[in-house]
């Protein structure tokens, strides 16, 4: 089991292959194992050293007392990259992991060769969109429902509710692989910690616009409707952003459509992240 001490915590990680470094950053509830289906596919398509890790509080990484913040996750990612000698690295993140990657790129661009971000839930960057306000209010209430389940100690109900009412859609929980469902349940307390951070959904787009490296922004056709608006707002802010729509995919394409996700990421790294 590989571990690294980073930013005051101990992070579990796995590293595979040789070549340019690619760090994979998972989203809420999940862990490094969620990337398992895409790692060998990426290795087939490009010479890469792929590093996936458990964010603080998740699975085999250290769980410190008290709520954290997304900035702490960003600093963890920076410390991991530096401790393993990966800088500058390609970094790909999903959901909250995508928010983490973009937040760090805005502050520490020298650590990055490129950024790939799938559906970061940065609702704060579209808070001024009047067409989205009713939808975002409905989402806020759904998230509060998830937190109510977690506060009552029913982590499984909270995880199911998050998957089916917030992130993916009805019936999605039963379609997830059983090990992934169990990981979601085990990591349920980390979601409540993330939501306690008042800045979890915000990102300074002016600061982000100073990141001039290649960026791939992806979204799925089956995802909630606020993600296209968030993606477009981010694309407008980033000088070298390209947007790719993954047909038939949703919020976790590296799990549901690993070939499609790996093909698009590998093509970007080969052609667009030179």
pLDDT digits (tens, 9 = 90+) for 72-127: 999 999 999 999 999 999 999 999 999 999 999 999 999 999 999 999 999 999 98
What is the spatial distance between Cα 42 and Cα 45, in angstroms, rounded to a whole number?
Answer: 5
Q: Output the pLDDT for position 271.
A: 81
What DSSP designation does 169 have?
Answer: -
What is the spatial distance between Cα 184 and Cα 18, in angstroms, rounded to a whole number?
Answer: 30
Q: Quick check: 260 pLDDT over 80?
A: yes
Confidence of residue 208 (pLDDT cuts 50, 70, 90): very high
Q: Output the pLDDT for position 211.
A: 97
Does 145 reside within a domain? no
Beta-carbon contacts of residue 51 (< 8 Å; ≥ 6 apart):
13, 14, 15, 21, 22, 23, 24, 80, 84, 86, 89
pTM to 2 decimal places: 0.94
Does 177 reside within a domain? no
Does 131 reside within a domain? no
Backbone φ/ψ region at 114: left (φ over 0), alpha (ψ -120 to 50), beta: beta
Q: pLDDT tens-digit profile of 121-175?
A: 999 999 889 988 898 888 889 999 999 999 999 999 999 999 999 888 899 899 8
Q: Output the pLDDT for position 272.
A: 60
Question: CATH no. for residue 77?
Answer: 3.40.50.1820
Does 121 reside within a domain? yes
Range of the domain at 63: 2-125+200-272
Does 63 reside within a domain? yes
Q: Output the pLDDT for position 159.
A: 96
Confidence of residue 45 (pLDDT cuts 50, 70, 90): confident
Does 181 reside within a domain? no
The mean predicted confidence, pLDDT, of the chain is 93
Confidence of residue 1 (pLDDT cuts 50, 70, 90): low
What is the rounded average pLDDT of the residues 47-64? 94
Q: Output the pLDDT for position 139.
A: 86
DSSP strands (E only) in 84-176: 89-94, 112-118
What is the spatial distance between Cα 31 and Cα 21, in angstroms, rounded to a whole number?
Answer: 19
Task: Name the percent of the chain lying above pLDDT 70.
Answer: 98
Does 105 reside within a domain? yes
Domains of the chain: total: 1
Does 236 reside within a domain? yes
């Amino acid at each position: 089991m590989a571990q690294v001490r980073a930013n005051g915590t101990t992070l579990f990680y796995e590293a595979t292959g040789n070549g340019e470094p690619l760090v994979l950053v998972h989203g809420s509830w999940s862990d490094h194992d969620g990337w398992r289906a895409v790692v060998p596919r990426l290795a087939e398509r490009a010479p890469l050293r792929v590093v996936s890790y458990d964010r603080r509080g998740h699975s085999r990484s250290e769980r410190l007392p008290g709520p954290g913040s997304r900035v702490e996750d960003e600093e963890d990612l920076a410390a991991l990259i530096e401790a393993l000698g990966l800088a500058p690295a390609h970094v790909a993140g999903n959901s909250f992991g995508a928010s983490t990657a973009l937040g760090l790129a805005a502050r520490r661009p020298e650590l990055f060769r490129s950024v790939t971000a799938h559906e970061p839930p940065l609702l704060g960057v579209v808070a001024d969109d009047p067409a989205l306000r009713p939808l975002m209010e409905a989402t806020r209430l759904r998230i509060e429902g998830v937190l109510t389940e977690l506060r009552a100690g029913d982590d499984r109900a909270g995880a199911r509710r998050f998957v089916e009412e917030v992130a993916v859609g009805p019936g999605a929980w039963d379609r997830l692989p059983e090990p992934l469902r169990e990981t979601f349940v085990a990591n349920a307390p980390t979601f409540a910690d993330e939501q306690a951070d008042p800045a979890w959904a915000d990102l300074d787009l002016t600061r982000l616009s100073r990141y001039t490296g290649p960026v791939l922004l992806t979204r799925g056709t089956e995802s909630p409707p606020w993600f296209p608006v968030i993606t477009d707002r981010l694309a407008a802010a980033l000088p070298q952003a390209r947007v790719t729509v993954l047909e038939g995919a949703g919020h976790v394409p590296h799990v549901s459509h690993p070939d499609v996700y790996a093909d698009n990421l590998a093509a970007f790294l080969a052609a667009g992240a030179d």
